[in-house]
């Protein structure tokens, strides 16, 4: 369990570091992790929506579908 403040601080850190590397493409995310997972929360719930990045959510993880 983490605190709300810790979660927000981590999200802001990732956004800051991500902004240091400019891209010449528009990122798209495929959410293969559950939203209750720490990584899923940080990236798919907080990061990508804040950046306006389209996120596609898999209903369940299937390796072959993931590769497609």
pLDDT tens for the 68 residues of the chain, in order: 789 898 888 888 888 988 898 888 888 888 888 878 888 888 888 888 888 889 888 888 889 988 88
Name every residue whose Cβ is closer than 8 Å to that of residue 11 and which is 6 or more positions away in sequence. Answer: 42, 46, 47, 50
CATH architecture, domain 4-67: 3-Layer(aba) Sandwich (3.40)
Domain layout of the chain by residue ranges: 4-67
What is the spatial distance between Cα 67 and Cα 43, in angstroms, rounded to a whole number?
Answer: 20
pTM of the model: 0.64
């Amino acid at each position: 369990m983490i605190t709300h403040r810790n979660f927000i601080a981590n999200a802001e850190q990732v956004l800051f570091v991500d902004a240091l590397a400019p891209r010449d493409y528009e990122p798209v995310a495929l959410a293969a992790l559950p939203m209750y997972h720490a990584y899923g929360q940080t990236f798919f719930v907080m990061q990508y929506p804040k950046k306006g990045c389209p996120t596609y959510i898999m209903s369940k993880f299937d390796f072959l579908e993931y590769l497609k």
